[in-house]
Amino acid sequence: MSAIYPISSTLDPVLDVTADAPIGIFDSGIGGLSVALEIARYLPNERFVYYADTANVPYGPREDQDIRELTAHAIEWLYRRGCKAAVVACNTASAFSLDYLRAHYGERFPIIGLVPALKPAVLATKSKTVAVLATPATFRGKLIKDVMTRFAEPAQVKVIPVTCLDLVPFVEAGEQMSPACLATLRLLLQPVVDQGADYLVLGCTHYPFLKSSIQYIFGHKMTLIDSGLAVARQTARVLIKNELLFGSEREENVRIELFVSGQNAEQMQPIIQRLIPDDISWSVNNIEA
């Protein structure tokens, strides 16, 4: 793979981080908060710096190299911010960027990525039919293809891919229960229900924020599953392995510091407030140009 701008071929010196440094989390927008909240619950002593690339969301319709470059820029920003590890809380970005990022940063800056939670759905399905709701770019990546080849095909489980470019903007706008969003979900998922799928894998970190919307339409006809808890557990394992897990209670007032690239912190604040529970403190700021 060719070099990805703006990461240089060599790392500028950054002071060695310690366990009290924050965990970096990146997503194309605010959808990755679904993962951040899972990690925050699982690791209650950790604090987080969250990079939301709201200037370029959504990533789903973008070209592969464009996705790589935007992801590389965001991870480099988190690295230079002094984070001790980074979670690529975006299925689309993970599908194209993990191998390069891990090779570039090495063990000094662990990178945790996402894979749609297809494996547990395959193991649990009784109808032998599951669906994966994800962006077109996620399905172009090799991560989900590998899981389908390794687990779904040997188990003779039918996997129904479902793609849509309209759902992420609904979440970014805080319109999950709007008539337009509900109509889109019904149009997308009714054929899945009709084909007998008993599990729906939410293969984009924005989509857990649509759980209530999906259940409002379809009740409990499908079990909804996402990668959030699995990523939280993997993050804990990586931190323990690298002796970076923070084990003491913190006194900081802010657990999640959000930074948005679209210079739209003020507009995003009420939407974020609806997504983050009251027991987790947070702030949101624009990234300086």
Which is higher by pLDDT, 32 or 61?
A: 32
Going by the DSSP 8-state scheme, the letter that residue 7 receives in this structure is -
Residue 90 designated active-site:
yes
What is the pLDDT confidence band of residue 17, given thresholds at 50, 70 and 90? confident
- Give the per-residue pLDDT at 14: 62
Active-site pick, 83, 164, 181, 204: 204
- Give the per-residue pLDDT at 220: 92
φ/ψ of residue 85, rounded to 5: -165, 165
Residue 164 designated active-site:
no
Residues 6+ apart with CB under 8 A from 192: 131, 160, 162, 200, 222
Active-site pick, 83, 90, 164, 181: 90
Cis peptide before 6 (omega within 30 of 0): yes
- Give the per-residue pLDDT at 289: 63
Residue 271 has pLDDT above 90, yes or no: yes
Residue 276 has pLDDT above 90, yes or no: yes
Residue 249 has pLDDT above 80, yes or no: no
Residue 192 has pLDDT above 50, yes or no: yes
